[in-house]
Every structure is written in C-alpha cells, then in structure tokens.
Amino acid sequence: LTGCSTGDAPAGGDGETKTDITVGFSVYDMQYEFFQEMEAGTKAAVEANGWDYVLHDEKSDENEMVTGAQALLDQGVDVLIISPFKPDALGPIIAKAQELGVPVIVDDIGGGGTPYDAIVVSDNKDGGVQAADFIDAQVKELGLASKKVVSITCEPSAVYAAQRNIGFVEQIESLGYEVVTELSGNSKAEEAYTIMKDALAKDPDIAGVFACNDPMAVAAANAITDAGKNPTKDIVTVGYNGDGEALTAIDADGLSATVAQDPKGMGTLTVELAKKLLDKEDIEFGNADEREVYQPVTLITKANVADFLK
Amino acid sequence: MTDHAALLEVTALTVEFPGVKALDSVGFDVRPGEVHALVGENGAGKSTLLKVLGGVYQPTSGSITLAGKPYSPSKPHDAIAAGIAVIYQEFTLFPDLTVAENVFAGREPHGRFSRGIQYKQMREECNRVFKLLDFDVDPDTRLGDLSVSEQQLVEIAKALSVDGRVIVMDEPTAALSQSEVERLLDIVKRLRDEGRSVIYVSHHLEEVFAVADRATVLRDGTHVATLDIADTDQDQLVKLMVGRDVKSVFDRDKSSFGEVVLTVDGLTSGRSLRGVSLDVRAGEVLGIGGVAGAGQTELTQAIFGALAIRGGTMTLDGEPFAPTTPAQAIARGVGFLHDDRKTSGIFPHLSVAHNLTATILEKIRGWGGLLSHSREQDAYNGYRDRLRIKASSSNQLISQLSGGNQQKVLLGRALAPGGKLLVLNEPTRGVDIGAKAEIHQLVNELTASGVAVLMVSSDLPELLGMSDRIVVLSQGAVVGRLSGEDRTEENVIACATTDRRIGVTA
Amino acid sequence: MTNTDTAMLAASIQPPAQKKGFNFGAFWDSWGIASVLVVLVIVAVILEPDFLSIGNVQSILRESAYLGIVACAMTFAIMNGTFDLSVGGQLALVSVVTLFAYGVGGTPLALAAAIGTGIACGLVNGALVTALRVPPFVATLGMLFVFRGIAYVLTQNGPAVLPYSEVKSPFAQIGSLNVAGIPLTFIIMVIVFGVGYVVLRRTGTGRKVIAFGSSPLAAKFSGISAAKIRLFVFVILGLSVGIATLTYITRVWTADGSAQDGFELRVITAAVLGGASLQGGKGSLVGTFSAVLLVSVLNDLLVSMGVGASYQRIILGCVLIVALAIDGLRTKFPGSSALRKALSFRNKRMATAG
Amino acid sequence: MTALAPTKKKTSISFVQEALRGLPLAIPLALVVIGLAIGAPGFLSPTNLENVLFAASVLVIPGLAMTLCITMGEFDLSIGSTVALTGAVACTAIASGMGTGVGLILALLVGAIVGLLNGLIITKLGVTPFIATLATLVIVRGVAQAFTNGRDVIVSDPILKYFASGRPLGIPFPILLAIVALIFMLWLTYRTRFGRWVAAIGSNRDAARLSGLPVDRIRILVYVIIGIAGALWGIMISAQLQKGSGQLGVGFELDAITIVVIGGTSLLGGRASVVGTVLGALLIETISNGLNLLNVPPAYQRISIGILLVGALAIQAIRRKVPVEALDDKH
Ligand SMILES: Nc1ncnc2c1ncn2[C@@H]1O[C@H](COP(=O)(O)OP(=O)(O)OP(=O)(O)O)[C@@H](O)[C@H]1O
Ligand SMILES: Nc1ncnc2c1ncn2[C@@H]1O[C@H](COP(=O)(O)OP(=O)(O)OP(=O)(O)O)[C@@H](O)[C@H]1O
Ligand SMILES: [Mg+2]
Ligand SMILES: [Mg+2]
C-alpha cells in the first residue's frame, strides 16, 4: 500500500512527468457549482501532467470526509488534495497521510493546526472588506440616507463564511453603518428570502445587504423586489462567490455586486503545488507560518460583469 | 342430503396456515331462507371458513358456488358486492369515527353534486336499525367511547343495514347480555322469514336451538356432520363437537366461606360508577350483572387500579387498598381478566408463552436475574395443561390462536400472580362449551382453595350458576343484591332493566 | 389503541401459506436483511475485487459503528412504539462536550462526559414524554433543536476539536486502533448489540419494552408502567449516543452544532430496514445490525465505483425499496395485487368451480 | 328510571366540533403573539403581519395534504425532494421557452407522478410508507440533481412571479391559495366519503379492508395529492427565488410533518385536525418571524424554537390532564 509514495527521484526537472503518479482529490460537495468548478480545474491540471486522478465526494459530511479521504490513502495515492467539509476533521486524515508519507494539499479552507504541506485559500476576510467598501461607495453614489445594513450569513458551522462576515461587519461598522439584522440563512436561498422580508418589515429603510453566498444574495434581491423595492437602486445588494446566477442577475440589474472567487484557478494552483512538492521544490507561501498560498478575490459589478459572463 | 336447491355451496375446502391445516376438505351448503348454525370447539375452523366466504382468505383448494355460479372472492369487497355481509369475530370498526360512519363505512350516501355525505339520512337509517335492536345510542357518538357490547351491537347493525342475501355472523352474541341476545335472535328469525340466509356461529347452544334450522359441526378443521336441528338435541351436538360428554358444572359447593377478602365502599369513579359498595369473601364467587354499559367493566377496572377513583374506599385482606396503577394491584396479588380481549388483553406480537407470563416476569427469573426459558416454559406448560390451551407450540404468536384459546391464555395470565383475589370480566367470552366447563371447574377449584372471585358475566346462566351472590348494576349504581333463593333470571333482569330493587335500601 | 387492532389483525390475516418444511416467512423474518447483505457483498466482490481488501473491510466496519450503536437503541424505541428524532442533536452536543472535557481532563474525563451527557439528554427526553406528557414526536423534535442549539452556543468561538498534538493519545486511539485486525469501534458495536440482545430478549425490562409496544393497553392491565418503560427507552437511547460518540468523535476529531445533520433519519432507517415496525411490537437486532452494514457496504461500493453523488442517491433509494419489497410482497394483505399474485409465495388460488 | 341522573358523558361529535379539533393550539399561539407584540418592535406592523401570514400560507398547503396522509396513519417524507424536482422542472421548461403554463403543468404532473410512485410502492410492493417515501426522498433528490446537473436554473418570469408577489383582491396570492385550500380540505376531510375513508383507514386499516373500502386506491390517491401539493410548494418557492435548483427544499418534509403534529393530528392515524394544522403553521412561522425581528442568533433561535414547540404541546397536555395511557401519541 505504501509502495508508491514520494521517495522516487524526479524523473526530469522539466514538464516531462512520471506516469505512475496518482493524485487523489477529496472534494467538499459536488452538488455545488463552486466545487464543480474547483474539481474541473484540479482534474484538468492533473491530466495535463499526465497523472492519474481519483475523485472522492465528501457530500457535506464529516464522516464521509474522513472515511473517504482515508480510503484514498489506502488506495495508495501519491498526493492528496482535499477541500475539507470540516477543516478540523483533517487531523485523522493528515495523521494517516504522515504515516504513509503522502503529501497533503488543502484547498479553500484550513485550520485546526494540522501539519498539511500547503493550503490554497481565497482571502475570505478581504472579500468581506471589499463588499463593505463597495456598499459604502454605492450608497453614497445613489444618495441613500440610511446607514442600516443587513448581513445574511451561512450556517454557523461554516468557518470560511464566518471570515467573510467578520471582514464585512468590521469594515462596514468602521465606515459608520449599523448592522441592524445579522442572521443565518444556513446557506439556503429559501431561508434568506424569508429573513430579508422580515428584515425589511422591521427596517424598511435598509441601505445595503451582504449575503455570504450568491444563492442567498439573489434570494434576498428577490425578496426586496417582492417587497416593492429595487435591489440595486433602493438597496445595495452584494453576494459572494461569483456564481452564474449572480452574474446573470448583476447583468440584469437584479443584484449590485458579488465577490468572486476563482475555484477553477484554485484547483489548478493546488496541482501546481503538488508538482512542486513531488519535485521537492520550494513553495512560495503568502503566509509561511500557516503554509498559505493566496488566491485573490475580485469584486464583480455591473461595470466588469461582461468579462466574466461566458 | 336434501332436495332443496342450495344458495351457497362449499365443496372440499382446504385452508392451510404454516404448520396448521385449519380446514381440511370441508363441505356444506346453505339454503335460501335458512338459518344454518356452524358449531365446533375453539380452533375448529369456523372463523377461517367464514373468512374464506368473506374474501379475507383464499383457500388452498376447494370451491364455492353462490346461487349456482362459481364464487371466489379475492377481497372483502367482492363478498360485499355479491351480497354476503359478514360480522367478523374480531370487530371491523373504526374507533375514531362516529357510530353512524361506522355503520355506513364504504356505503355512505352522498349528494350527487356536492359529493358531501348525507349525514341526516345516515342518522335516520341508523336509528331505524338501532330500534330493531333496541339499542339506544346517539349515532354521532365516537365509536371508541362505547363499551364492548355496545360496539358489538354497532357491528351487528352494520351487517343488518346491508341488504345482504347471506348474512354471516361469527359469535355475534359473545359480548351481549341476555336481553340483547333475545333481540338479536328475533331479528335473525325475521331475516329468515324475509327469505335471506343466515350463517350463525355461536358457542351458546341454546341460541343455536332457538334459531337454527340446521347445524354443521366442525372438529379440528374437518366436517363432522350436518344435522337438522329438529332431529337432534344439545347432548348429541356437544358429543359431535367435543368427541366426549361434557357436563355443565354449575354445582358449586356453596356452604362455607372464609374471611372477607375485598370490601368496596361507596366507590365512585370514572364516567359511570356511583357509590358502589360490595364485599367478597374467601372461597366465594360474587357475580356482577347488568345490561351493557351499566358500568361492570369500570367497576373491575377501578378495583384493579386502572381507573381514577373519585370517591370511596376499599380494603383487601383487611388492609386499606387504594391502588392507583394495576402494578400495585398485581403486587397485592390481584389477578385480572379484561373483557376487551383484543385491545386490552393480548400482546399480538408476542408468543403465547410470553403473553402468559407478562404479569410474573419477576418470578421466572433465573441465573443472573435473566429470564429463564425453562421456568417460563414450565409456567406455560402448567397452564397449558390445566386450561387445555391449544397452540402448536409455546412460540406460536397469540394472534394466530383461535379466540377461545387466546382467552384461555389470558386467563392463565390472570391466575399467574397467584393471589387471593381474582377479578374476572367475562371469563368465558368466546370460549367453547368444553372449555367453558373447564373454566367453571377451575373457578370452583380456586374458590375451594380459598380464592375470592369477583366475576362479571353477561351470560345469564353462567352468572346464575356460578355466583354465590349477585350484585346487579344499572347506570353505575347497585340496584340489586341477590343471594340464595333470590338468584333468579327474572330478578336479575328486572333489577337491571326496570325500577325494581332487591336487597338495596334507599 | 388502533395500532394494536391493526397489528393484531395484520398478524391474524396473514395469507394462508404453502409448503411444509422450509418456511420462507420465518426465515425471512430473522435473516432477510442479513441475506440481502450477503448478496450485496458477493455483488461487491464481483464488481470491485478490491472490496475485500483488509483496509477496505476495516474502513467499512470502523465507520459503521456509531450509526449501529444508536440504531441498536433505536430498535428498542421503535419496538416500544416510539422513536427519537433528537439523536442527531444529542450526538452533536455529546461530541462537543466530550471534546471540551478531553481538553480539561484527558481521556478519563472525556469518557465520563460522553456517557454522562448522553444519559442526561435521554433523561430530558424521557421526562418531557412521561412527566409533561408531550408526544414523543414533538418532544424529541423540539429537543433536536435544543440540543443542536446548545452545541452551537458552546462552539460559537469555533468548533470543538481534538488537537493534532493528541494524535497518539489513548482517546484518539479508540477511533483508529485495530484489535487483531478488527477495528476497536466495531468491537464496541458488537458488544453493544450483544448486550442489547440480552436485555431485549432475556430480561423482564426488555420483555416489557416489547409488550408495551405491542399493545399499550394490554401492557397497562398487565401492570407495566408506561412511564417507567418509556423513560428507560429514552435513557438507553441517550446512553447509546454517549457510547456512539466515543467511536465517532475519535474518528472525526471535531464537532459543532451541525455535526451529523440528518442522523436521526439514518438511524431510524437502519432499524426499520432491519425489520422494526413503527407500529411497535416488532423488530430485530440481527436485522438492524445487518441493515447498518448493508448501508455502509452499499455506500462504499458506490463510492469506490466512482458513481456520482446524485446517482448514488438514486441507487441507494432503489435498494431500500427492493430490500423491503421482498418482505412487503410476502406479508401484504392477500388479494388486490396482480403483481403480488405473479410473484406469489403462496399456493395457487382457489380453483374456480365450473 | 331512578332518582340518579344519568352520567353517561359520551362525546357525540358534530361537524363543527370535529373541524375545530386543533383549536386549543390557539392558546399558545395567542401567548406568543402577545409576547411578541410587547417585546418585538415592528411585530404588529401590517407588513410584518403579512409576512407571517405569507410564510404560514406557503407551509399550509403542503401541510394540509400531509394532514390527510398522517390521518391515514402514514407519512410522506419525500415532499422536500418533490419541491426541488418540480421547481427545477418548471424553471427548466420556462427557461427553455416552452411557456410558463406548460412549465407549471409539467411541474404538477411530475409531482403527481412522484406521488403515484410512492403510492404504488407502498400498496403494491407492500413497503412500509416510512422507508418507501424515505427512499423516494433520496431518489427524487438524486433525480433533481442529475436533472439540473448541479446547476441552478435561473428564470425571470412574471407569471411565475405571480405565485410569490401577485395580489388578487389586494391579498397576496399564496394567502389566497391557502384559504381556498383550507376550505377545500375542511370539506374534503369531514364531509366527503373520501375524507371519512382516509380517517377510517387511519383508524383501523384492516377493518377498512374488511368493510370493502378501496383501501389501496385511497392510499395511492392521498400520495398523489401530496405529490401535487409538493409541486405547488415547489412552484411557490421557485416563484419566490425565480430559480429551480436541486438543493431547494432540504428538510421541508419535517416542517410539513411538524405543523401537522403540533396541530393535533394523531400520528397513529384516524383523527384529522385541519384547523390545527393551519394554527401549527401560524405558530411556527410567528415564532421564527419573532426571533428574526429580535435578531436572535441562530444558535439561540434553535433553542427557542425547540423549547416553544415542546412548551406549546406541554401546555395542551397538562391542560387536558392527558392520562398516562395517552403516552402513545393519541392526544
Ligand atoms: N393467521 C393464522 N395463522 C396461523 N394459524 C391460524 C391463523 N388463523 C387461525 N389459525 C389456526 O387455524 C385454526 C382454526 O382457527 P379458527 O379461528 O378458524 O377457529 P374457530 O373455530 O373460529 O375458533 P373460536 O371458536 O375460538 O373462534 C386454529 O388452530 C388456529 O390456531
Ligand atoms: N372512553 C369513554 N368515553 C365515554 N364514555 C365511555 C368511555 N368508555 C366507556 N364509556 C361508557 O361508560 C359506560 C360504562 O362502561 P363499561 O365499559 O363499564 O360498560 P359495561 O357495563 O362493562 O358494558 P359491557 O357489558 O359492554 O362490557 C358505558 O355506557 C360506556 O359507553
Ligand atoms: Mg372463531
Ligand atoms: Mg364490560
């Protein structure tokens, strides 16, 4: 089982690769567009290297995550790339990988103090800050008087999303706004819709909304429309992710902006890092202490949405 | 056999259950305008035969014709459509619906356009049938609130309101008291006079002789004989059924009673009991009589701690006795038999042995406090022999037994705690004539050994024959205390149904 | 009241059966799901020769444990005519508390905390049902929210975790140790089922659990206390969650309020698939045990064959239906179904005269 | 007969009494409303009250269908997945230019087919409803995901939108729909043969067969009705969100079952509490609206909902002094 770990000498320094390398990728949940993109990027990069590729879907379940990732290791993968459903459940997986000497690269979210070899993160907190800055600028441009904003968060257990909210709330408050409603829509569009309606009933003069993912942002925008307001002119509505539905909505003036991540690029990046690890090259960390490699986020608005719509 | 054209003809019918041949090549026929009785011991296969007629079971082999045409119902609906109305031994009633809805289940009259059920019409029709039965109940009552015998009357009304060619009655009188039985028998005769056929199953041979034209005897799933009632008598019939002579043993030795075991003073409780006072002595059988719904069941439940008491006191063996749960009563050694065998008696998913030992789990513990199979088996075997329980093994599910055998298992459960007081509510309901005699014998043995028995029975001969004294209830109050010479059928009926009072002051 | 009627009639209206000798019904009652499991394993070995590799078998057994342990207790509850929708919340809460306790007092405190918290959860449910007379469905649904909520409150500053530095601690070993090649968690599950079997079939309490489920009214008149027996059932459910947590948290190392969302449904499914009837009175620990493994094996097989998640669901659902349809067709009310007749396990229909 | 007055207190049930079976739930509901009127600013504002009614209405329609099913002594767990699949079907049809009408009809048809499948699996294969509908929950969700390929189907359709924000007679459309559904269900449940047969099956299924009721047909029909209600629910959710998605409606089955059970319909079958279901929906939605207004963090929202649920039922149970034997859910 442990036969094919990292010990082999590099066959050649350049792009000509060994053919007996297998990359295992354990993905958060293939139901979501975001992770489908990430998987596509990862798979394409692995195949470009001429390596074998094994996929495991965690299906948003920590038990499946541990069992499946460990099973990948049992199968003898040479590198494990994992976008963990619960970063803190990486412990037993990393422990097994270390036992077998398999390098592990984490994608998207990490933490838990486990000794993985590298992690690719998009800067979630910065995304929240960007959203706050945009709302402020837009409120001024539209000439809205109110300083009330709403934040709709993902499920309380989602670490990554919590960072977005922290970034957003800190920044928007420092800009002189008041977060009048801060509730969890559990990442579900249908819940965000109700929350937004209730928030509007309480404070009809809300100036801005930030939702932790795009489905919730678009749902909030729909609630705003159903309450007789305009989600770009009366209220500034901002989402996160850069999903297709958000881009369409922005294009159609149904949403003000979204903070886009680049899941495909993240996938590609993890494979680049994997190659470096296998080739025993050094990795340039954005934050060496945490072994973090950053993937920037971009704010998509009406102004630049055309570049992202395929 | 005869030259009459048969309306219904059953030929070589065989029904097999896993391990049991319930019917083995049985044949008989029913003529138009005939009351045909079906008799046999518990487990003889009567109900199975009727269930085949009703489309509930499909036979392994054999054939049936109805009015000359092949008849093979594959579901109950087919039987109803063919004009065969069946009163099953187990009620087919809906506790959550009203009485009227029960009577008309599946045949509700409804508006042509509104599709709404026409309750008024249903109520009127109900009242009409109830009147025939002399049954006084509001058709809008929730069925689950009725007593067992009231439910039995609803079941009968349900079958009568169908315009059936053949009406099949499986032990319709098991839960009825004397006056209601007579009503029913009148109705059966009327149905016959209208030209309909009735198949009548009963363990009460008096009823068979009162209404039936012919009788078919089954034993162990086989056809023994079909006789004209006019040509036979009770003894012959019993002999054919049981294969031996059975003597009714109402010969109690009523001379000596011991100490008072139970006293009840001014008991008021539940929905209907109002100041009931009585006492039972060691070795004595105190009978409780009354019409359906007079409160007999509530009385037994109150004594057993199963019904909240609003007033009154009790003593057991001279000590104060105020059980608030049946567990407390059982702990004091009270044995209890409920009249509602189906919902409050058996544990349908458990075996006969497990059913029997439900009240003595502490006593059958063995090594390490675990239940001991051998002790359980011994306990079961003891009662099986004593009560002649007929089951394929101690592991058989009780729900697969015939009704009478289920009753015997439950009687065993009541006896098992082995105390000084036994509260029996309808102890021989649904039990065949042989078993009935055995149960009476057993009660005599128990009283002889000093047990006090409080017995509710709607079977008047049994009540008179087995009780040393009789307390008659009406609307939850004592209206008669009969002992010695007073214990006559007339007195019981008079107290129960008219203003007459015997042995009761105020 | 009606549940007993129906159950009884259902039992008494079983179709007349057929051949002597081999009794399919009796066999299926006790070994039905187990035989489906065997068939599935054979299919798995044919489709995926690696299926029987030691690592894979260990993985299946190891991950089944926490589900199986709670399903064992749930079988008690279902046989008793009730169920517990809060076990997922209990698992989350007990996991969080256990990890905190580990941080404070190491392995011994963690063990005590798991068992203690589990039993406490069970007592709360039991008290609601028996003392406040809240119907079990609503009581345990409400407590599902409450337990999860408390777990969330406790983890507001981040999930509870077993730090990586504790990788070699005895506590972490529970989830990864193999004893003679058999995962320790699986051994614990087998012990739980063994004890469960003895309690259910060989003690008075177990008998009362079943009897009450079979007919609450008959139980009442046999002196069985509804309150006591219900309390017992909910407490052993809590206890089982406590034990299950130990096998779960030592594999996953982290918990918060969202841990094992939907757990209750999976547990109930295992018990029902194993032959337990939600009407009460009927159930089989052998069946539940097999059902737990069945679901795990199926999941493992589909994952290792690379079937996409949506198709995994579709196949899992179909297998559930097929597994129960075999039993359903056997015990269904006679008549009325052409399909049933075609597949009939009964003898030929009555020969129609003429 | 005697001087003693008869004490028989048999409950004869009139239509009104039966229809109002769930009414006691109005007590906890009133308590919650009073509490929120005092404690939550803006609760009594017309917009907010309309929000509560709106949310309750969306839940009421499937809740009423589920009431039928539970009255029959069975569950349908698959309704949440039906919501996802039918919404996705409607939106896909609309997005592909087949027209809104066709989309809606297809959605209802798919809902009915899911119901029919449930019914057939349960009646013809004899699979217990719990497992059968759990299996279809899993299967239908899988189909919805495979159908949408994991991508949301975005639409922008004014007719569809009418289901979320249309206001005939000034009343939001879902509220109107719910009122119609309530009246229809009251009539169906308590006044028609079908309704009584459903209760009869729930009360004693084998007796229903022995009485010659077309038991299997009724059961299938009930599942079809739930499937259609699920499709309506899916349409309403998709109308709100203007999209179809394989992820919608997760856990909805429990929401629907919860309001039915809180409303007083016995899980053992036989007794329908139609009005109770409506009050149950109002109670749940009022609580969650109040918690939103109070900006209660999610962790505490869960705890509060749980405690209020249990509390609401405990108040009823204690008030009625439910005896110990009622531990079997018949309340
Ligand atoms: N569902 C069943 N499974 C197995 N055996 C059964 C089943 N139903 C009945 N039997 C058996 O078939 C035989 C005939 O039973 P049946 O109920 O017809 O008797 P019966 O004559 O009606 O008796 P009783 O007078 O006690 O009602 C009995 O031995 C009984 O145990
Ligand atoms: N749950 C209930 N709700 C309302 N009334 C009831 C309920 N249960 C019983 N009753 C009524 O209380 C009265 C006494 O009932 P009880 O069961 O003691 O009758 P009984 O004398 O034993 O009749 P039977 O001979 O039929 O067994 C009856 O009129 C019965 O209809
Ligand atoms: Mg019989
Ligand atoms: Mg009685």
Q: What number is the average pLDDT over the span D181-198?
A: 91
Cα–Cα distance between D208 and C306 in angstroms, integer?
47
Nearest residue in A to C62, CA atom: A67
Average pLDDT of chain B is 86
Which residue among D196, D214, D323 sits closest to B117, beta carbon to beta carbon? D196
Give pLDDT tens digits for B162-192. 878 899 999 888 778 777 888 889 888 988 8
Task: Find out whether the beta carbon of D8 lies less than 6 Å from any atom of ligand 2.
Answer: yes
**pLDDT exceeds 90 at position B503:** no
Identify which of A200-204, B426-430, C235-239, D75-79 has the greatest average pLDDT: C235-239
Task: Find out whether the beta carbon of B43 lies less than 6 Å from any atom of ligand 1.
Answer: yes
The tokens for B271 are 């929905």
Task: Find out whether the beta carbon of B292 lies less than 6 Å from any atom of ligand 2.
Answer: yes
Classify domain B8-242 at the CATH superfamily level: P-loop containing nucleotide triphosphate hydrolases (3.40.50.300)
Closest CA to D13 of C228, B96, A259: B96
ipTM of the complex: 0.84
Cα–Cα distance between D213 and D207 in angstroms, integer?
9
Which pLDDT value is given to residue C24?
65
Is D306 in contact with C316 (Cβ distance < 8 A)? Answer: no
Task: Find out whether the beta carbon of B145 lies less than 6 Å from any atom of ligand 2.
Answer: yes
Subunits with 3+ Cβ pairs within 8 Å of D are A, B, C
Nearest CA to ligand 2 atom 3: B145
Task: Report whether A81 contacts A24 (CB < 8 A).
Answer: yes
Cα–Cα distance between A272 and A293 in angstroms, integer?
11
Interface probe for C, chosen from D141, D301, D310, D330 (most Cβ of C below 10 Å), is D310
Location of structure tokens 């999976």: C266
Which pLDDT value is given to residue D14?
67
Which pLDDT value is given to residue B114?
66
Report which bound ligand comes closest to the CA of D323.
2
Is D202 in contact with B95 (Cβ distance < 8 A)? Answer: no
Report which bound ligand comes closest to the CA of B143.
2
The tokens for B258 are 């011991």
Q: What CATH number belongs to B259-497? A: 3.40.50.300
- pLDDT level of residue D11 (50, 70, 90 thresholds): low
Task: Report whether A99 contacts A43 (CB < 8 A).
Answer: no
H-type alpha helices, A175-300? 189-202, 214-226, 244-251, 263-278
Task: Find out whether the beta carbon of B55 lies less than 6 Å from any atom of ligand 1.
Answer: no
Residue A100 to chain D, least CA–CA distance (Å): 35
Cα–Cα distance between B120 and B110 in angstroms, integer?
10
**pLDDT exceeds 60 at position D6:** no
Quick one: which atom of ligand 1 is closest to the CA of C13? Answer: 1
Quick one: which atom of ligand 2 is closest to the CA of B298? Answer: 18
Task: Find out whether the beta carbon of B351 lies less than 6 Å from any atom of ligand 1.
Answer: no
Going from the C-alpha of B210 to that of each of B202, B235, B436, B456, C231, the distances in angstroms are 12, 15, 20, 25, 55
| DSSP-derived secondary structure for C278-299 | TTSS---HHHHHHHHHHHHHHH
Closest CA to B123 of B144, B133, B113, B108: B108
Q: Is the dihedral of CA C230, C236, C242, C248 positive or negative?
A: negative
Interface probe for B, chosen from C1, C2, C3, C8 (most Cβ of B below 10 Å), is C8
Q: Is C109 helix (H, G, I), strand (E, B) or coil?
A: helix
Identify which of A269-283, C233-247, D286-300, D314-328 has the greatest average pLDDT: C233-247
Task: Find out whether the beta carbon of B400 lies less than 6 Å from any atom of ligand 1.
Answer: yes
Task: Report whether D286 contacts D303 (CB < 8 A).
Answer: no
| DSSP-derived secondary structure for D224-239 | HHHHHHHHHHHHHHHH
- Chain C residues with beta carbon closer than 8 angstroms to that of D254: 141
Per-chain residues with Cβ under 5 A from ion ligand 4:
B 297, 339
Give pLDDT tens digits for D221-252. 999 999 999 999 999 999 998 889 888 888 88
Residue C351 located in a structural domain: no
Ligand 2 centroid–CA B147 distance in Å is: 4
The tokens for A166 are 């922290």
| DSSP-derived secondary structure for B139-199 | TTBBGGGS-HHHHHHHHHHHHHHS--SEEEEESTTTT--HHHHHHHHHHHHHHHHTT-EEE
Which pLDDT value is given to residue B4?
55
Which pLDDT value is given to residue B256?
76
Q: How many CB pairs under 8 A join B and D?
A: 118
Q: Which of residues 103-162 of D touch C (CB under 8 A)?
A: 121, 123-128, 130-132, 134-139, 141-143, 145-146, 150
Is B475 in contact with D7 (Cβ distance < 8 A)? Answer: yes
- pLDDT level of residue B105 (50, 70, 90 thresholds): confident
Residue C194 located in a structural domain: yes
Ligand 1 centroid–CA B149 distance in Å is: 23
Location of structure tokens 């060496």: A288
Pocket test for ligand 2, best of D7, D10, D11, D325 (most atoms within 8 A of CB): D10
Cα–Cα distance between B221 and B24 in angstroms, integer?
5
Ligand 4 centroid–CA B356 distance in Å is: 22
Subunits with 3+ Cβ pairs within 8 Å of A are C, D
As a whole number of Å, the CA-based R_g of chain D is: 21
* Number of CB atoms found within 10 A of residue A165's CB: 25
Task: Find out whether the beta carbon of B271 lies less than 6 Å from any atom of ligand 2.
Answer: yes
The DSSP letter of residue D265 is -
Is B115 in contact with D211 (Cβ distance < 8 A)? Answer: no
Burial A205-244 (b: 16+ CB within 10 A, else e): ebbbbbbbbbbbbbbbbbbbbbbebebbebbbbbbbbbbb
* Number of CB atoms found within 10 A of residue B297's CB: 25
Residue C346 located in a structural domain: no
Task: Report whether D181 contacts D60 (CB < 8 A).
Answer: yes
Cα–Cα distance between B434 and B441 in angstroms, integer?
11
Burial B353-376 (b: 16+ CB within 10 A, else e): bbbbbbbbbeebbeeeebbbeeeb
Task: Tell me phi and psi for residue B24, to 5 degrees.
Answer: -125, 100
Report which bound ligand comes closest to the CA of B432.
1
Which residue among B15, B343, B362 sits closest to C217, beta carbon to beta carbon? B343
Going from the C-alpha of A260 to that of each of A124, B336, B477, C38, D316, the distances in angstroms are 10, 76, 83, 49, 51
Task: Report whether A80 contacts A56 (CB < 8 A).
Answer: no
The tokens for B382 are 């003891």
Quick one: which atom of ligand 2 is closest to the CA of B300? Answer: 18
pTM score: 0.85
**pLDDT exceeds 90 at position D83:** yes
Q: Would you write out chain A's pLDDT as a tens digit for each of its 310 residues? A: 333 333 343 433 444 444 588 999 999 988 888 888 899 999 999 999 889 999 999 888 888 899 899 989 988 899 999 999 888 888 889 888 988 889 999 988 776 677 888 888 888 888 999 999 999 999 999 988 888 999 999 887 777 788 899 999 999 999 999 999 999 888 889 899 999 999 999 889 999 999 998 999 999 999 999 888 999 899 999 999 888 889 989 998 999 999 988 888 899 999 998 888 888 888 777 777 778 888 888 899 988 888 887 6
Residue C134 located in a structural domain: yes
Give pLDDT tens digits for B274-305. 889 999 999 899 999 888 778 888 899 999 98
Residue C25 located in a structural domain: no
Residue C106 located in a structural domain: yes
Q: For residue C227, what is the domain's CATH number?
A: 1.10.3470
Write out the residue range of the structural domain in which residue C70 sits.
52-157+168-266+273-329
Which residue among B61, B365, B369 sits closest to C351, beta carbon to beta carbon? B61
Quick one: which atom of ligand 2 is closest to the CA of B144? Answer: 1
Closest CA to C266 of B193, D1, A187, A59: A59
- Residue A67 carries which side chain, given as an amino acid letter? T
Q: Would you write out chain C's pLDDT as a tens digit for each of its 354 residues? A: 333 333 333 334 333 333 344 566 667 777 788 888 898 888 888 888 878 888 888 888 988 999 999 999 999 999 998 889 999 999 999 999 999 999 888 899 999 999 999 999 999 999 999 888 888 888 898 999 999 999 988 988 778 888 888 888 888 888 888 888 899 999 999 999 999 999 999 999 999 999 999 998 899 899 898 889 999 999 999 999 999 999 999 988 888 888 888 888 889 989 988 888 888 888 999 999 999 999 899 888 888 887 887 788 888 888 888 877 776 676 654 333 333 333 333 333 332 222
- As a 3-state breakdown, chain A gives helix, strand, coil percent values, each rounded to 5, of 45, 20, 35
Task: Report whether C94 contacts C114 (CB < 8 A).
Answer: yes
Write the CB contacts of B37 (distance below 8 Å, at least 6 apart in sequence): B199, B200, B201, B202, B208, B211, B212, B214, B215, B216, B229
Please give the domain boundaries of chain D with CATH numbers for all domains.
Answer: 45-317 (1.10.3470)
Task: Find out whether the beta carbon of B151 lies less than 6 Å from any atom of ligand 2.
Answer: no
| DSSP-derived secondary structure for C312-342 | HHHHHHHHHHHHHHHHHHHHSPSSS-HHHHH
Is B338 in contact with C221 (Cβ distance < 8 A)? Answer: yes
**What total of structural domains would you count in chain C?**
1
Considering all CA atoms of chain A, what is the largest pairwise distance in Å, rounded to the nearest integer? Answer: 67
Is C211 in contact with B354 (Cβ distance < 8 A)? Answer: yes
Determine which helix (DSSP H) or strand (DSSP E) holds C172, and give its type and residue range: helix C170-176
Cα–Cα distance between D250 and D128 in angstroms, integer?
22
